[in-house]
Structure 1
Amino acid sequence: MYELHRLLREYDRARAHTDALWKDLTADEVTWRPNENSSAIGWHLGHQAHVAHFMIRNLTAAEPSPDPELDGLMDSANPERFRGALPTVRRLTTFRDTVAERVHARIGDIAVGRVGAPDQMTIVGGHLLTALINHEYQHDEWISEVRAHSLGHALPPDPSADGLSRVDGYLVLTPYS
């Protein structure tokens, strides 16, 4: 099993790849929706963080949302056309950064045994981080498609790491194989 600190570095690598896909876009490009049944790049950015928060919260540490107003908006259970207006790029960025800091703090506590049931939480934390990394890359694929095909921007190169490959067209980390 990968050690948790190594998986945190992979989480950061996945987030950096996401940033390479959108940080050079205009606010209008980030919030543009190809049609009413499609999500804007900005929604995917918020959704990635929303899922990370809820997984950390529900599997390792109950804590309040860093931005409760975004919870319903970023929930994929809501059909695209009913998701509402996106927040500003600045608010999305703050949300993503805050969630990432919380992921690091909680997984860091687990990695050094500062939790109840540290051995069990280490296993949970490893699988949780792997899921977060793969979820980040899953939505990166859609962001890539809109960036390249709809908006006409070049794509950055894929990141490279041990255990990182493409499966069914998606980047995935398979640290347990």
Structure 2
Amino acid sequence: MGAPRRPVPLSGAQAYLASSILTDDVVTGLSPLLRAAPEVRVHGTVRTHRVPRATHLAPTRPPLAADVTGRPMYELNALLREYDRARAYTDHLWRDLTPDEVTWRPHEDSSAIGWHLGHQAHVAHFMIRNLTAAEPSPDPELDGLMDSANPEKFRGALPTVERLTAFRDTVAERVHARIGDIAAGRVGAPDQLTVVGSHLLLALINHEYQHDQWISEVRADALGHPLPPDPTADRLTRVDGYLVLNPYDGGDTAGRN
């Protein structure tokens, strides 16, 4: 850059506009910028930068099968199928047990299989109604009992197997209904809720498998029943002894339907 030029007084403005100085300042000085940034516009003697409208600034929508880091994730309907797979495995762990076995626990500071069944459903609907839709609990009387904040010594008075079954089935229907609406775009912010719903479902699936492990221990170690075979699915494995669905474990998936 050359030595700074003294400001031109206002009285000399007309002379400045007619002089070669204007050409040096505007044309010569701005030409490299114009080549580097074509969106720059020169209006008269004022240098301005045209700001695109917000719609021009919005990035191209990324594939919804990827999270914010760009790593591949399951699409929502595929995750719903994995949710059903996890629930089906839970059913294999308890459906052949007697009501007494479902509600039995070895000591006061422990949880019966029935409590885990109710807790899985309670957490699923708690997350659905708080993260995606404000809807009432299917069975409010069970919420306090089935919450993990309830100490184990107070988990003994469980509802009947029929009530537990109805609670679990109703919650699964609500999960499918709400996530189905998101997958089909029948919500106000479908892309935002797709991100929320993907992570929510993944958490619910792995939470289901987490408690399945503890149900398995009561079933096999305390009640003496054989365990069913593990479910099989892409990216379903065991980590620290627990079944875990890891959506980042290779492979590509389709986007939101």
Q: TM-score range by the shorter chain?
A: over 0.9
Distance in structure 2 (CA, Å) of the matches to 1:73 and 1:106:
25
Question: Which residues of 2 match residues 16-165 of structure 1 at below 5 A?
Answer: 16-165=88-237
Distance in structure 1 (CA, Å) of the matches to 2:140 and 2:90:
23
- Residues 48-103 of structure 1, C-alpha deviations (whole Å, 9 max, x = no match): 00000000011000100000110110011011102340000000000000000000
Unaligned runs of 5+ in 2: 1-72, 250-257
Distance in structure 1 (CA, Å) of the matches to 2:205 and 2:245:
7
Distance in structure 1 (CA, Å) of the matches to 2:140 and 2:197:
24
**TM-score, normalised by the number of residues in structure 2:** 0.68
How many residues are aligned here? Answer: 177
- Residues 8-36 of structure 1, C-alpha deviations (whole Å, 9 max, x = no match): 00000000000000000000000001110
Distance in structure 1 (CA, Å) of the matches to 2:135 and 2:240:
35
Distance in structure 2 (CA, Å) of the matches to 1:151 and 1:173:
28
**TM-score, normalised by the number of residues in structure 1:** 0.99
Supply the AA of the counterpart residue of 2:238: R
Distance in structure 2 (CA, Å) of the matches to 1:171 and 1:67:
28
Distance in structure 2 (CA, Å) of the matches to 1:5 and 1:115:
16
- Residues 134-157 of structure 1, C-alpha deviations (whole Å, 9 max, x = no match): 000000000000000000000000
Q: Which one scores higher on RCO, CA 8 angstroms, separation ≥ 6? A: 1
- Residues 107-164 of structure 1, C-alpha deviations (whole Å, 9 max, x = no match): 0000011111110100110100000000000000000000000000000000000010
Q: Which runs of 4+ in 1 moved over 3 A?
A: none
Higher helix share: 1
Whose Rg is larger? 2
Unaligned runs of 5+ in 1: none
Does the aligned pair in 1 maintain the 2:108–2:156 contact within 8 Å?
Answer: no
